[in-house]
């Protein structure tokens, strides 16, 4: 509303309302102001009026000039109309003239057209007539591609008009040349020097010439086959002279790359190409070609694998593992990289070959280890049988050293072999990632086939040193003792070490599924068994050695006619000496385990025991007064109260136990020999002296001295039984004789 009011008040606006304006002025302004305003408005009105007058004047002038112009135009149009009519008549006359000319020229034109057609026909005919010659020259130039293209140009014509007599000759010529060409091309198949690329080209051309694809395909493959065969023969020849690495290299660069090329070109030529041209047959043919190719590749790869396998197998003795692994790696990568065939996975075969190689390597290593082991043992044997070392100390040192060096040698050798074999599962080696291989190799070959086998071999071969029936003196007893200790040490430390080392290096533990793992304890047990067996054997051997001396000494003497004993017989001293030596030797090897009683006794114990034993001795002896001698009652009573003595109870791995065993065997023998003899009084007394002497010196070697006493009592008892005049010597005299030595 306010706006409207304002608009109404705007003197220049379109809605100006003079009454409202005036009302407003009258209301708001003073008289004076109104007066002024009136003047102003009058002045404005006057100026506006004059302005309007000038405008009207100007526009009037313009209107007059426009009217003039229109008049002039009217005249001009009339003139133009006339001229147009004139033009029309002219055009009509021109048209009639041109028609006349056209009809005059018609004939000539038709003639020219005909002539040009005849010309082109003649040109083509000329090409046809020249074709045989061209083809021939192309053939001479060996430009087979051009020749083929030329022929293809002419082919349709020849096909169409071939029956006409004029063309028959040409067709015949062409076909014969073409046959020649085809032959030439096929010849290239069989040309050994032709490269695969050339072959491909030839096949390509032949295909263009619409040779039957199947036939070509088989031809191609048979040619390729021949070439590959040559490669293989070459490889075979080389295989005998070259190292494995070179051989694999040769195979990869020669055979495999050729095969690749053949397969690739075959794909290019036969399989992919057919697709584009003949869709109906393509599928059938493609299948056919694929099958052909597959069988071809399979056959050749098989031959190649056989060759590689033979090579790997025939590698002499033991190849350098890293070289072998390198070669195999190369081989595997090449085989895997090349996708020869969709259906067959050659990687599988390759893995098989590599596994074989791994197994063979393990076996070879095993053989080496066995050899090394037997070498070590025979070296030790030599050292032992070599002339005695000067002093006891030295020999003692050497025995321990021998043992240690033996263990160290064997363990180090084995470790070395493991390190060597690690190459097979080096993560950088391509085939090491294949679980099929690693599992078989790590567990089957290395762990079971090598380490376990070797350990078993040790425990078995060591046993063979004293196999049945070989209880002879050729083998140095110390060797047996040493080997026994060796087995024991191996059981205690090295077996676990080696097996855990193997497991660690070859991750055998993580892949427990599949192959059954031999338990460490199995090996330990068999080691322990061997150690025990050897130790038993040692005891038997030494026992028999002492027995032999005792037996000879008893058998060769005439006990019925002997003089009164004055000394201990030398044999007894010898036996004691021998046992002391054995004791010293055994102490070197089994010293640390001699935890049983007697060994470390001090002097006080010694005197004590002697006194005790003397008491026992006397008390026992006293029972053998002549009056009782005719009865076995006493000894039987004695037996009732004493424990039954096993002559040969199992020996522990301790010095005392070993010596107890030896002494038991010796004393038992002594008794048996005594029982076979008949004694006079003095003979019996000699035995009395001897047994007393043994008693004085042997107790210290055994765990239970009562055992020695008991056996010696038995000996003396037996002697008493076998005596015609059983009168014993005074114990004091016996003491004196024995102390005198």
Partner 1 sequence: MSNENSVIYGLEFQARALAPQLAETEKIRFVIGTQSLKQANNQIHLVEFNEEISTIKTSVFHHSEGEIWKITTSPLDSSRLATCYNAVASENSCAFRTAILRLPEMENPDSIENLEIVTKFDTSEFGAETKTTEFHPTDSAKAASVIDNNVVLWDVADSHAKAITKFQLEGKHNPKFTTGKWNPHQNCNQFTAASETHLKTYDSRTGDLAWQIDGAHHQLVRDLDYNMNKQYHIATCGDDGFAKIWDFRQPASPVYSSNEHSHWVWCVRFNHFHDQLLLTASSDARVLLSSAASVSSENVCDTDDSRGAQVKQLLPDGPLQWCDHEDSVYCAEWSPSEPWVFASLSYDGRLLISRVKKSLKYQIML
Binding-site ranges for partner 1 (CB under 8 A): 468-469, 471-472, 540, 544, 547-548, 551, 560-561, 630, 632, 636, 639, 644, 646-648, 665, 668-669, 672, 675, 678, 680, 721-725
**Secondary structure (3-state) at 386:** coil
CB closer to partner 1, 568 vs 667: 667
CA gap 489, 499 in Å, rounded: 15
Sign, Cα dihedral of 36, 40, 43, 49? negative
DSSP summary character for residue 723: B
Closest to partner 1 by CB, 15 vs 548, is 548
Residue number with CB closer to partner 1 (399 or 703): 703
Within its chain, how far is the Cα of 286 from the centroid?
37
Smallest gap from Cβ 472 to partner 1, in A, equals 6
Helices vs. strands in the chain: H and E counts, helices first: 26, 0
d(C-alpha 109, C-alpha 318), whole Å: 97
Contacts 24+ apart (CB under 8 A), 235-242: 235/304, 235/307, 236/307, 239/307, 239/310, 239/311, 239/314
Of the pair 511, 721, the CB lying nearest partner 1 is at 721
Q: Smallest distance from the beta carbon of 630 to partner 1, in angstroms?
A: 6
Smallest separation (angstroms) from partner 1 to the CB of 484:
17
Give the shortest CB-641-to-partner 1 separation in angstroms: 13
**CB-wise, 101 or 563, nearer to partner 1?**
563
In this complex, which beta carbon is closest to partner 1, that of residue 369 or of residue 673?
Answer: 673
Label residue 1 exposed, middle or buried (CB < 10 Å: 0-12, 13-18, 19+).
exposed
Question: What is the distance, to the nearest Å, from the Cα of residue 54 to the centroid of all Cα atoms in its chain?
Answer: 116
Encoded tokens for 189:
């198949």
Q: Which is nearer to partner 1, 199 or 651 (CB)?
A: 651
- Please state the closest distance from residue 475 (CB atom) to partner 1, in A: 12
Torsion of CA 353, 453, 404, 593, to 10 degrees: 150
User: Residue 241 or 636: which CB sits closer to partner 1?
Assistant: 636
CB of 725 to partner 1, least distance (A): 6
Instruction: Give the Cα separation of 500 and 516 in Å (integer).
Output: 16
* Shortest distance in whole angstroms from residue 575 CB to partner 1: 17
| Least spacing, CB of residue 550 vs partner 1, in Å | 11
Give first-to-last CA distance, the chain, whole Å: 161
Closest contact distance (angstroms) between CB of 541 and partner 1 is: 10
- How crowded is residue 478: how many other Cβ atoms within 10 Å of its Cβ? 23
Going by the DSSP 8-state scheme, the letter that residue 78 receives in this structure is H
With beta carbons less than 8 A apart as the criterion, state whether 648 and 540 touch.
yes
Candidates 484, 485, 465; CA nearest to 475 is 465
Identity of the residue, 261 or 629, whose beta carbon is nearer to partner 1 in the bound complex: 629
Question: Whole-number minimum distance, CB 678 to partner 1, in Å?
Answer: 6
Q: Which residues pair with 679 in a beta bridge?
A: 723
Residue 95 has which token pair? 């048209």
Whichever of 235 and 534 has its CB closer to partner 1, that residue is 534
- CA distance to 448, 535, 600, per residue, from 581 (Å): 42, 17, 17
Could you tell me the smallest distance in angstroms from the CB atom of residue 462 to partner 1?
17
Q: Which is nearer to partner 1, 381 or 677 (CB)?
A: 677
Residue number with CB closer to partner 1 (614 or 639): 639
Structure tokens, 451 = 């380490």
Q: Are 169 and 145 within 8 A, CB to CB?
A: no
Query: Cβ 647 to partner 1, closest distance in Å?
Result: 5
- Helix, strand, coil tally for the chain in percent (to 5): 80, 0, 20
Q: What's the min distance (Å) between Cβ of 633 and partner 1? A: 10
Give the contacts of 313 (CB within 8 A, at least 6 positions apart).
356, 360
CB of 557 to partner 1, least distance (A): 14
Q: Provide long-range contacts, Cβ within 8 A and 24+ apart, for 430-436.
A: 430/329, 430/332, 430/333, 430/336, 431/328, 431/329, 431/332, 431/350, 431/351, 431/354, 434/347, 434/351, 435/511, 436/351
21 close to 37: Cβ distance less than 8 angstroms: no
Q: CB within 8 A of 309, min separation 6: which ones?
A: 353, 356
When the beta carbons of 72 and 468 are compared against partner 1, the nearer one is 468
Least Å from the CB of residue 560 to partner 1 = 6
Q: What is the residue whose two structure tokens read 């020219």? A: 112
């Amino acid at each position: 509303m306010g706006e409207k009011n304002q608009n109404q008040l705007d003197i220049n606006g379109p809605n100006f309302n003079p009454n409202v304006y005036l009302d407003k002025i009258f209301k708001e302004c003073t008289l004076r102001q109104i007066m002024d305003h009136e003047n102003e408005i009058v002045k404005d009105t006057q100026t506006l009026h004059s302005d309007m007058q000038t405008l009207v004047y100007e526009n009037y002038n313009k209107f007059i000039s426009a009217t003039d112009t229109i008049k002039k135009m009217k005249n001009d149009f009339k003139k133009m109309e006339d001229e147009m009519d004139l033009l029309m008549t002219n055009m009509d006359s021109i048209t009639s003239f041109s028609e006349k000319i056209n009809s005059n020229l018609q004939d000539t034109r038709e003639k020219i057209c005909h002539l040009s057609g005849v010309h082109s026909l003649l040109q083509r005919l000329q090409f046809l007539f020249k074709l045989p010659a061209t083809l021939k020259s192309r053939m001479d130039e060996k430009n087979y591609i051009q020749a083929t293209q030329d022929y293809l140009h002419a082919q349709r014509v020849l096909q169409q008009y071939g029956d006409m007599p004029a063309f028959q000759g040409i067709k015949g010529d062409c076909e014969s040349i073409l046959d020649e060409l085809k032959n030439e091309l096929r010849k290239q198949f069989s040309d050994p020097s032709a490269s695969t690329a050339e072959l491909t080209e030839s096949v390509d051309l032949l295909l263009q010439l619409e040779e039957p694809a199947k036939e070509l395909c088989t031809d191609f493959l048979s040619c390729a086959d021949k070439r590959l065969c040559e490669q293989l023969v070459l490889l075979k020849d080389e295989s005998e002279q070259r190292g494995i690495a070179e051989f694999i290299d040769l195979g990869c660069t020669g055979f495999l790359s050729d095969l690749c090329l053949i397969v690739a070109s075959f794909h290019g030529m036969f399989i992919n190409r057919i697709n584009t041209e003949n869709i109906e047959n393509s599928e059938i043919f493609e299948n056919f070609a694929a099958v052909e190719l597959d069988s071809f590749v399979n056959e050749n790869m098989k031959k190649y694998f056989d060759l590689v396998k033979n090579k790997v197998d025939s590698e002499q003795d033991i190849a350098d593992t890293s070289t072998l692994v390198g070669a195999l790696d190369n081989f595997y990568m090449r085989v895997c990289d090349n996708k020869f065939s969709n259906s067959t996975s050659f990687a599988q075969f390759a893995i098989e070959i590599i596994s074989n190689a791994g197994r063979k390597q393990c076996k070879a290593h095993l053989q080496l280890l066995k050899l090394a082991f037997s070498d070590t043992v025979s070296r030790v044997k030599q050292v032992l049988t070599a002339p005695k070392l000067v002093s006891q100390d030295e020999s003692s040192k050497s025995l321990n050293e021998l043992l240690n060096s033996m263990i160290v040698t064997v363990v180090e050798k084995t470790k070395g072999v493991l390190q060597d074999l690690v190459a097979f599962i080096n993560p950088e080696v391509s085939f090491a990632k294949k679980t099929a291989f690693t599992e078989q190799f790590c567990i089957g070959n290395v762990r079971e086939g090598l380490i376990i086998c070797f350990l078993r071999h040790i425990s078995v071969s060591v046993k063979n040193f004293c196999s049945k029936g070989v209880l002879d003196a050729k083998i140095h007893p110390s060797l047996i003792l040493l080997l026994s200790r060796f087995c024991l040490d191996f059981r205690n430390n090295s077996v676990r070490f080696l097996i855990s080392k193997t497991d660690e290096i070859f991750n055998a533990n993580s892949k427990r599924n599949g192959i059954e793992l031999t338990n460490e304890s199995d090996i330990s047990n068999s080691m322990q068994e061997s150690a025990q067996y050897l130790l038993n054997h040692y005891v038997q051997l030494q026992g028999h050695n002492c027995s032999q001396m005792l037996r000879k000494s008893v058998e060769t003497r005439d006990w019925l006619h002997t003089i009164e004993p004055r000394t201990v017989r030398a044999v007894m001293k010898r036996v004691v000496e021998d046992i002391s030596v054995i004791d010293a030797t055994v102490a070197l090897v089994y010293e640390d385990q001699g935890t049983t009683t007697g060994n470390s006794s001090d002097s006080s114990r010694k005197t004590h025991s002697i006194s005790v034993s003397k008491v026992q001795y006397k008390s026992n002896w006293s029972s053998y007064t002549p009056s009782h001698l005719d009865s076995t009652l006493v000894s039987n009573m004695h037996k009732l109260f004493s424990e039954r003595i096993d002559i040969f109870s199992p020996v522990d791995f301790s010095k005392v136990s070993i010596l107890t065993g030896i002494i038991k065997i010796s004393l038992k023998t002594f008794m048996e020999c005594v029982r076979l003899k008949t004694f006079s009084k003095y003979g019996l007394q000699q035995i009395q002296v001897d047994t007393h002497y043994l008693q004085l010196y042997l107790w210290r070697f055994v765990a239970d001295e009562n055992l020695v006493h008991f056996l010696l009592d038995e000996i003396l008892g037996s002697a008493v039984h076998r005596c015609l005049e059983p009168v014993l010597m005074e114990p004091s005299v016996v003491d004196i004789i024995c102390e005198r030595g």
